[in-house]
Structure 1
Amino acid sequence: MYRWTPLICQTRRSLCRHYAAAAAIKPDIKLLKQLRQETEVSMTKAKEALVKNGNDYQKALDWLEQDAQVAGTKKAQKVAGRTAGEGLISTASVSAEGTQSKSTIIELNCETDFVSRNDVFKNLASRIAATSLLLHEPAGAAVELISVESLLQSPLMPHPEQQTEDPDVTSGKTVNEIIVETIGKLGENITLRRAAIAVANGATGSYVHGGDAATGKMGGLAAVQPLKVSTLNDSQATALSKIARQVARQAVGFKPTYLNTEDIPADEMNAQSDQKQYISEAVLNQQPYLLNPDITIAEHVNKAAQDAGIQDGAAVAGYVRWEVGEGIKKKENDFANEVQKAAQGN
């Protein structure tokens, strides 16, 4: 007869010692605090990461990254059909070599206004806007759309006005990967809807409303170009940037449809009973300037540029104005229904 008992007992003792050792591992308090600050994960998840990796900080970070990606992917697949009609508009600006200036604008959508006010979501929107600064170079002075697909596949960058040591920014993760992870964190469908860039050999400016300095519920860009090509000194460049921001704010507040009168289609113009009034409302350059209604935007830009020492003046070369969720057909109580179904176990 074979005697298995000693071997079984020995195996059991080995397993018991193994599990006892694993159970004895406790998360290092200092590492736990650092991990939570750096990753913004829950206390439970941070403890799990450290315990599973024997308090090895880098391994814990790697584990959390893999866990977040898996969880985010699963959640993204689950919520993909939900309507994302809320969110934020975000902008970023930078001055390049010489007199060239660039500004970008993006719209990042989520399902509820509650999530749009979350710091994680706001920071993501502002960083995507900063990343878009590097992607597109219009020829000359222009405002053009940026490929959303290209932006999604680009490594995430920090916002130029924000100092951050977030590992997401330096890890080489793409915008899309961070969006997926954020879906896992916040539990809602998140989509990057659109992006645009303004470039000028003069100045560009941006303005957002209904939020903070970098994000809001509506926003705009404007490109302002000297009428004659010239090298601007620091004072002139600063003045022109201020003018461009004023134009962007005008566009956000007064919602123009066209830049110039000649941009209006003939059939649309002919359908107006009061064409002069329509032009003053629909055409940005012909709108009364909000801080001095006695002059138009075109007149304000030209005069302000001349006052800044740009002798031949300047003109608006392009603009864009966006509002969160415009054109999206929202399903009433879409998110509320999802919550109710989840509560019922459906």
Structure 2
Amino acid sequence: MAFSAVTKRSRSIRAILFNARLFSNSTCRSRRFTTETSSSSSSSASNQTNLIKQLRERTSAPIKDVKAALMESNWDIEAAQTELRKRGKVLASKKYARTATEGLLALALSHTHNRAALIELNCETDFVARNDIFQHLALSLAKQALLVESGTQAQLGFGAGGFHVGPENLEELKLNLEHPKISGETTVHNAIVEVAAMMGENVKLRRGFVMSTSSNGVLSTYLHTSPQPGLGHMAGILTLEVEDGNSQLDALQRVGSELAMHIVAAKPLFLTKELVSSDALESEREILKSQAETSGKPQMAIEKMVEGRLRKYLEDVVLMEQKFVMNDTINVKTLLNSLSKEVGSPVKIGNFFRMEVGEGIQRLEELTASEPVTQAV
């Protein structure tokens, strides 16, 4: 009896120990499986995070768009990038109707500095205008405009040394963008669309001008509020022509630079009084007459008031009649006379123009080429 009880007790103990070992082994296997699964999941999440980061760096697209494109492309980064570019073109076309009044002017000069191109690239906010990709595109477009030739200068109202360059002249030209995020050869139009998609704003090439000077002349430029060389929000460009090609180049360049700055500050509309159109004069005369008539003075006094104010108007808008901003005791005409004596040969202004980002956009969406700039004959 005692022996039978001991035997039963031993069997029970062995069964308990066996079951315990089974449970222990099962638990260990379960733990190993859980750990392996967790490790695999963690590794996958890490890879996905890296892909999101890489595609974000490549495209500058919003993170939510980057992640969505990767998920739809089964985490294939090349396919996702292509998908983002397709989406971007659709989004950019939808944004095209939105008004873009911010942006930058970009200036490019030939290696001989006798030819310059200035373009205006618009966006919706100053934040985008400060973006490196936007600025790179603007400078690239200016360099492209520098290569454009025109046979319609006379029709556009310019002298022989300047002509207007619009989007229609540039959009289908090839452009090689050497930038980490938008590198490769494409057209000007496609480059603008791609940058618009990346920035999430309407980006628009609005206008451009090209100016050149003769071998005896000097071309001078000035950019105001410039975030980096070649970019600015306001610009003045002019050419000084001299009869004697052996004249003092330093003096011409010094005065040319000062006059380019003057053009930005003083905002001239015409080079000489003779170039002021009769329509512009009559329009201003009517405005001044209406203002003078409110004084209640006799007609003869009113006519004198109008003529006096008209002379003041011409001093304000005609470059040669304007007070020189760096020395208001003389006007620009006197400055050029002094320069002619200094270099020993007659000096004249060949062409000039002034441009400012966004000017006239809210007043009129499409400015004519002659509105922001008046040239010499």
Paired amino acid for 1:127: S
Q: Deviations over 1:83-126 (max 9, x none)?
A: 11222222222244xxx701121111112222222222222222
Aligned-partner Cα distance in 1 for 2:58–2:193: 18
User: What is the correspondence of 1:237-252 to structure 2 with a 5 Å cutoff?
Assistant: 239-252=251-264
Query: Does residue 151 of structure 1 match 2:170?
Result: yes
* Number of residue-to-residue matches in the alignment: 286
8 Å CA contact retained: 2:57, 2:181: no
User: What is the correspondence of 1:100-139 to structure 2 with a 5 Å cutoff?
Assistant: 101-136=114-149
Query: Does residue 205 of structure 1 match 2:220?
Result: yes
Query: Does residue 176 of structure 1 match 2:189?
Result: yes
Query: Does residue 289 of structure 1 match 2:324?
Result: yes
Q: Deviations over 1:315-345 (max 9, x none)?
A: 11111112222222279xxxxxxxxxxxxxx
8 Å CA contact retained: 1:39, 1:166: no
Partner residue in 2 for 1:338: none
Any gaps of 5 or more consecutive residues in structure 2?
1-40, 154-158, 286-305, 365-377
Distance 1:121 1:328, change over 3 A: same
8 Å CA contact retained: 1:137, 1:199: no
8 Å CA contact retained: 2:212, 2:219: yes
Aligned-partner Cα distance in 1 for 2:58–2:246: 44
Percent identity of the aligned residues? 28
Partner residue in 2 for 1:224: 240
Partner residue in 2 for 1:336: none
* Partner SS state of residue 103, structure 2: strand
Q: Deviations over 1:245-301 (max 9, x none)?
A: 322211111111111111112354361532332222111122122112222223334
Q: Which of 291, 307, 322 pairs up with 1:273? A: 307
Q: Which of 203, 206, 219 pairs up with 1:193? A: 206
Greater helix share, structure number: 2
Aligned-partner Cα distance in 2 for 1:113–1:298: 38
Paired amino acid for 2:191: I
8 Å CA contact retained: 1:285, 1:316: no
TM-score (norm 1): 0.69
Paired amino acid for 1:209: H
Larger radius of gyration: 2
Partner residue in 2 for 1:253: 265
Partner residue in 2 for 1:57: none
Partner residue in 1 for 2:103: 87
Distance 1:117 1:204, change over 3 A: same
8 Å CA contact retained: 1:206, 1:219: yes
Distance 1:34 1:113, change over 3 A: closer
Distance 1:156 1:304, change over 3 A: farther
Aligned-partner Cα distance in 2 for 1:38–1:142: 42
Aligned-partner Cα distance in 1 for 2:349–2:179: 38
Aligned-partner Cα distance in 2 for 1:155–1:301: 42
Aligned-partner Cα distance in 2 for 1:173–1:217: 27
Q: Deviations over 1:35-77 (max 9, x none)?
A: 8777656789599599626xxxxxx4x974x445313211112
Distance 1:67 1:150, change over 3 A: farther
Distance 1:76 1:167, change over 3 A: closer
User: What is the correspondence of 1:291-310 to structure 2 with a 5 Å cutoff?
Assistant: 291-304=326-339, 307=342, 310=343
